Chains A and B, each alone.
Chain A
Amino acid sequence: MIFYAITPILIGSFGNYCIPLMIGARDMAFPLLNMLSFWFAFASGVVLLASLCLPLGAAAGAWTSYPTLSTLIGSPGLGQTFWCVAIFLLGISSTMGAVNYVTTVITLRAPGMGYFDMPLTVWGLWLTAILNAIFVPVLGAGVMLLILDRVFGTTFFLAGASATAGSGDPVLFQHVFWIFGHPEVYILILPAWGIVSDLLSFFARKPAFGAKATALAMTSISILSTLVYGHHMFTTQMSPLLTQAFMTMTMTISIPSAIFFANWLGTIWKGSIRFDSPMLFSLGVVFVFGLGGLTGLHLGTTTTDLYLHDTYFVVGHFHYTMAASVLLGGYAGIYFWFPKMFGRMMNETLAKIHFWGTTIALNGIFFGMLMIGYGGMHRRTYNPFVYESLTKLIPINTMVTWSAIIMGAFQIVFVYNFLKSLMSGEKAPQNPWNVGTLEWTISSPPPHHNYTEIPVVRCGPHEFGNPNLKTGRDFQYQTEELVEG
């Protein structure tokens, strides 16, 4: 889901759609590279799905693909190899895309748009791309070495492979993987943070509280994320000094996270809130990310992590922070930009039904998981109930399953809404949400080349509620001079 849902939708789709429009550009900096990036991702999907048809089955190593399970000893046959190849291709795709986004944001901003005049959505996507470009090759190297181990018989990850010829080290893979893996989870969440930061401001009709601080907090989180990877490896018997170092760094990351979370709350506080569907989903993100982020503290402390590692508590934590926040943030983005993309409005009533059903069920699933994980239920076991003490958790587990089924059912509402609105939704005006960022200054949908004339930016993206405005609007377009008293 990380690689084939969040990456293509949040980073691939929103990135390619929103970045040029919001910075006033006609296209991305490298259109050909962009196309290659898409087709590599497609090829990667084909390879992975093909692996389902192999005689010995598809990959069974989980997304982390730890050796020795993922070497030929633990996973004979081609399934895991196909997985490695698919991930390698996807890595190439992500890296190419990332180079494109970074260059586009740096070079193609409209005149007058300084970095802090960019909407926070673009900040989120840009920081994601920077992390992507630097850390995906690390995964590429790890996976490449695993391919060499599986196909050519190298011994990078096989311990004691030959008594006299020196040995490989399975834990090396864990290091390589998590040096990629930790920045990766921030890669996945940054676009959603950016989108929510903007949407909260737009629908509270207030400037984004501490917008510059939010941008800087997201940047410092990106930088810090590179230093904390060891917190995924607390149980690998590394030296206590090292675990303490990683624990301290992990706690430090919670500070900028708290800063921009407080900024979110400051944005909504005393705002004139419009409870349209994008706003409902954004408020949903505020709730789930707050909860998920807090549970991260339990996992960041070595002592508690020793108990909670590989339990459903972890699963609950990362689903709240990554899946729930990204899903709700993604839906917020879709409901928000659908009018711009397709020139039609989505049905608000169905959207609200979709929101409440999804959010309540989602909390059922993942809060349930937090509970059973706390009770000790392990991840990735075929039947956890062989353990007597865990059988007490069966009712909660049942609740989780039912919530999942209900949540799945509510997505049908979304699909129906999406398709129906595409075909016969009400025609959208140029700026249905009354927001001042650049994409709302052109028609819905925009013409092929976006901007006939490149706009000149004269104010920031969150100029709401300026008391000096006399035009009857409560916001300013980014192309207008800020109205002083």
Chain B
Amino acid sequence: MVLISGSMLFATLLMGYSLFRSSSSTWPPEGIQAISMGYPMISTATILLSSWFCSRIRGNVAVNDFRSAKMNLNTTLILGVLFMFIQTLLWNEMKTSGLFIGSGIFSSVVYGFTWIHAAHVISGLLVLGWLRFVLRPATQNLGQKVLNVEKFWHFLGVIWLILFISLFVI
């Protein structure tokens, strides 16, 4: 249910974006250079890798292997933080090439959407941190909690993938 709501948020943003692009003859608009793909690609790899590690946690918990579960969760967390760090590098690179938040619609879209995604990633990191805390045999309904967190984390990865393709690739 939560994922549907979140999807609607990003769906709206993407709708607006598609309207802007379709009404503009060139994209990026005149005078703006396209953002180099380096950081976005590393970001994509990082977040997808973190999703892979996240998917291993559930199996670990099912067989009560808490040591491996904690390791996989730690890796997911580290990769998540790394993703945020790479985002800041991306934003810095945009600033040095002259693209500021107020520089028109193109940068509005890129900064705006990646900020909103980043805000959700930060909340995802907090949720992963909470899961790290409750990852014990005594926790009730642990399997369901792990599954829910994992779904949210994958959701963030999917949204990033869509943003990656629509903002940076095409």
Contacts and interface: CB of A to CB of B under 8 A. Distances in A.
B19 interface: yes
Contacts of B89: none
Given A162-B103, A166-B27, 15 more contacts: A99-B2, A134-B8, A137-B5, A137-B12, A138-B8, A148-B115, A155-B108, A156-B112, A162-B105, A164-B104, A166-B29, A167-B104, A168-B108, A175-B15, A176-B15
B46 to A, nearest CB: 25
A99 B3 CA distance: 10
Given A134-B8, A164-B30, A141 B104 contact: no
Nearest to B108: A154
A140 B27 CA distance: 27
| Chain B residues touching A, majority SS | helix
Chain B interface residue count: which class? 35 or more
A53 interface: no
B63 interface: no
Given A133-B4, A141-B12, A169 B108 contact: no
Interface in A160-186: 161-162, 164-169, 172, 175-176, 179
A145 interface: yes
B130 interface: no
A166 B5 contact: no
Interface of A: 95, 98-99, 102-103, 133-138, 140-142, 144-145, 148-149, 152-156, 161-162, 164-169, 172, 175-176, 179
Interface string B30-41: 111000000000
Contacts of B78: none
Contacts of A140: 9
11 contacts: A133-B4, A138-B9, A138-B12, A141-B9, A152-B101, A155-B105, A166-B27, A166-B30, A166-B106, A172-B19, A175-B19
A168 B105 contact: yes
A154 B113 CA distance: 11
A166 B99 CA distance: 13
Nearest to A94: B5
Interface string B17-53: 0011001100111111000000000000000000000
A148 B8 contact: no
Would you list the 7 A-B pairs with minimal beta carbon distance, nearest first? A165-B104, A153-B102, A166-B29, A154-B108, A141-B12, A137-B9, A166-B105
